[in-house]
């Protein structure tokens, strides 16, 4: 079947013929109707995560899928051929830039009924990231103050909506041209990152969701109230992540060193820092689908590309400036 692969880190994405997926007893074979494009795809391509998430080459990229069930493994009970589904396949089983993919049923959920496959494909990775940051790690409560960076992006556009649903007061950073857009999503305060310094404008926040890292993350610590929490999705990874991944002691030490500076800064400020590397979760995607069908969450698709232009779709994402997600449509 047709798929888009990299032959090694830092190599360009190219079309290739690859074997049909092997369907295990608990797998669901999905005909790909659309595939979301994520920054994680580019970070894997460039080798940014090769120490913590090594892959064998050649590698089919792609972390989001929406499509139709073709067939199911012998022990699958919750899905049947013809079902419309969506998923973020688990690590080491990615590969949605292809005509078909076998997905573990635990990672799969019925697609939202109120939107098409393109909109559904824009959701899994970013919606799971927002859910795990705000609901699982952040445990956001009504009345809390939440800062979400890059509010017009893939994660930010969903996180703003989810935070408002949870009852939070939401601030976000965005360009001036996107100010009305993020307000429409639910942002109460919009900081134009090109003209304003969010550290000078905000204080006393309970939670920051940071997707940028570096200096932006360091400044984010200083807008938190004592006891507040910064959750980073661009890194650096922390010791808890290393333990969760079952890394060897040497790699755990290396991971701890990467985040030592930011963790020390957080401790001095009386706040905490946690790294989030989202995990596949079909049950959480069912919750997301319900919120979409209730009108609480609105998928944001910034641009679509045909399957043959998957490399161009990845390039468009890395150039930036788009609202929401880039999505590749079926071959």
Quick: pLDDT tens for 181-218: 999 999 999 999 999 999 999 999 999 999 999 999 99
CA distances for 33 relative to 87, 99, 146, angstroms? 12, 8, 35
* Of 231, 205, 263, nearest in space to 132 by CA: 231
| Per-residue pLDDT reduced to its tens digit, 131-143 | 999 999 999 999 9
**CATH of region 126-275, choose from 1.10.3720.10, 3.40.50.720, 3.40.50.620, 3.40.50.170:** 3.40.50.720
pLDDT of residue 252: 87
Q: How far apart are CA 222 and CA 205, in angstroms?
A: 9
Mean residue pLDDT across the chain? 95
| Per-residue pLDDT reduced to its tens digit, 256-296 | 888 999 999 999 999 999 999 999 999 999 999 999 999 99
CA distances for 221 relative to 5, 7, 63, 218, angstroms? 38, 39, 30, 6
| Parallel, antiparallel or unpaired: strands 205-210 and 145-148 | parallel
Give residue 123's pLDDT band: very low, low, confident or very high (50, 70, 90).
very high
Q: How far apart are CA 147 and CA 189, in angstroms?
A: 9
Q: Where are the domains of the chain?
A: 2-123+299-329, 126-275
pTM for the structure as a whole: 0.96
Residue with tokens 């610590």: 221
How many residues are there in the chain? Answer: 331
pLDDT at 32 over 70: yes
CB 174 within 8 A of CB 192: yes
pLDDT of residue 153: 94
Residue with tokens 């956001």: 140
- DSSP code at position 71: E
CB 147 within 8 A of CB 323: no
Give residue 145's pLDDT band: very low, low, confident or very high (50, 70, 90).
very high
Q: How far apart are CA 16 and CA 38, in angstroms?
A: 20
pLDDT at 331 over 80: no
CA angle 167, 211, 273 (to 5 degrees): 75
* Of 277, 273, 327, 270, nearest in space to 299 by CA: 327
Can you tell me the mean pLDDT for 29-42? 97
Please provide the DSSP assignment of 165-233 as one string: HTT-EEEEEE-GGGHHHHHHHT-SEEEETTT--HHHH---EEEEEESS-HHHHHHHHTTEEEEEEEEES
CB 131 within 8 A of CB 287: yes
pLDDT of residue 246: 83
| Parallel, antiparallel or unpaired: strands 205-210 and 189-192 | unpaired
| Per-residue pLDDT reduced to its tens digit, 47-102 | 988 877 889 999 999 999 999 999 999 999 999 999 999 999 999 999 999 999 99
Q: What are phi and psi of 275, to 5 degrees?
A: -90, 135
Architecture of domain 2-123+299-329: Alpha-Beta Complex (3.90)
Can you tell me the mean pLDDT for 150-177? 97
Can you tell me the mean pLDDT for 14-42? 97
């Amino acid at each position: 079947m047709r798929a888009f692969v990299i032959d090694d880190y830092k190599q360009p994405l190219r079309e290739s013929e690859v074997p049909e997926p092997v369907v295990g007893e608990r797998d669901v074979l999905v005909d790909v109707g659309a595939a979301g494009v994520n920054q994680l795809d580019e970070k894997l391509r460039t080798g940014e995560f090769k120490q913590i998430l090594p892959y064998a080459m050649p590698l089919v990229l792609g972390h989001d899928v929406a499509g139709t069930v073709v067939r199911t493994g012998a022990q699958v009970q919750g899905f049947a051929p013809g079902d419309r589904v969506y998923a973020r396949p688990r690590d080491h089983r990615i590969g949605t830039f292809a005509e078909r993919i076998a997905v573990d049923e635990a990672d799969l959920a019925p697609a939202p009924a109120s939107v098409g496959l393109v909109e559904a494909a824009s959701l899994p990775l970013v919606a799971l990231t927002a859910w795990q940051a705000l609901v699982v790690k952040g445990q956001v409560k009504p009345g809390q103050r939440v800062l979400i960076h890059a509010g017009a992006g893939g994660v930010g556009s969903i996180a703003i909506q989810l935070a408002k649903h949870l009852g939070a007061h939401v601030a976000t950073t965005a360009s001036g041209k996107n100010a009305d857009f993020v307000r429409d999503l639910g942002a109460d305060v919009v900081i134009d990152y090109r003209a304003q310094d969010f550290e000078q404008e905000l204080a006393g926040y309970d939670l920051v969701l940071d997707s940028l890292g570096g200096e932006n993350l360091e400044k984010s610590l200083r807008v938190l109230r004592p006891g507040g929490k910064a959750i980073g999705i661009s890194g650096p990874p922390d010791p808890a992540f290393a333990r969760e991944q079952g890394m060897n002691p040497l790699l755990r030490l290396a991971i701890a060193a990467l985040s030592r500076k930011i963790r020390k800064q957080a401790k001095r400020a009386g706040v905490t820092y946690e790294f989030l590397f989202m995990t596949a979760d079909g049950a959480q995607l069912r919750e997301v689908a319900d919120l979409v069908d209730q009108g609480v969450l609105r998928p944001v698709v910034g641009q679509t590309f045909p399957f043959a232009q998957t490399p161009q779709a990845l390039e468009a994402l890395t150039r930036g400036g788009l609202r929401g997600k880039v999505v590749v449509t079926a071959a």
